[in-house]
Structure 1
């Protein structure tokens, strides 16, 4: 579980990132979760965009992605979700304590 200080730090790091994945009409599926897991292992912090034609709302999509990828939702603003998962091999971010 991330503290408020850690979430603020991660939000500042994610500000300049572009969304890597888009969730569309098909919603969240196993293949997408697998790909997000792989990218999180390499980058630790990503943005996901939820398109307007998605059947699920953004809160449901964020919950499905975080549960499926075992990641933390750092921020949910508009149709953009910021996810964080600590990497086992490629540590890039050092969180404040």
Structure 2
């Protein structure tokens, strides 16, 4: 799964208005955190997460692990915030941030 630059641009625009749904701390990746992230990606497809980790290298390693474990794709990372995407063809249109945005702004 690889997003085009146009898709990434559109997703960054959507993500700008989102609040983080998952916060990752120094404690690392737990089963509970992965389950929460998996549910959020299934429901919303595009989610913002907060990496509450001071060290930049540790943050990058944690994000890489989350992306791999959740089978998602990092759309954007700014400081301690990351935007992740995982397509769900069966996503509820009322929950999917992608579908709701496209329906509201007209599909491209």
Fold in common (TM above 0.5): yes
Question: Please, what TM-score do these two structures have when normalized by structure 1?
Answer: 0.86
Taking the aligned partners of 1:37 and 1:46, their CA distance within structure 2 comes to 10
Question: Please, what TM-score do these two structures have when normalized by structure 2?
Answer: 0.78
Contact 1:24/1:53 (8 A) holds in 2: no
5+ residue gaps, structure 1, are none
Q: Which has the larger radius of gyration?
A: 2
Taking the aligned partners of 1:32 and 1:56, their CA distance within structure 2 comes to 20
Q: Give the structure 1 partner of residue 16 of structure 2.
A: 15
Q: Give the structure 1 partner of residue 36 of structure 2.
A: 35
Q: Give the structure 2 partner of residue 51 of structure 1.
A: 52
Which structure has more RCO (C-alpha within 8 Å, separation ≥ 6)?
A: 1
Q: Give the structure 2 partner of residue 61 of structure 1.
A: 62
Taking the aligned partners of 2:54 and 2:9, their CA distance within structure 1 comes to 30
Contact 2:21/2:47 (8 A) holds in 1: yes
Aligned length: 97
Higher helix share goes to which structure? 2
Alpha-carbon RMSD across the aligned residues, in angstroms, is 2.3
Q: Give the structure 1 partner of residue 72 of structure 2.
A: 71
Pairwise CA distance, 1:42: 0.6
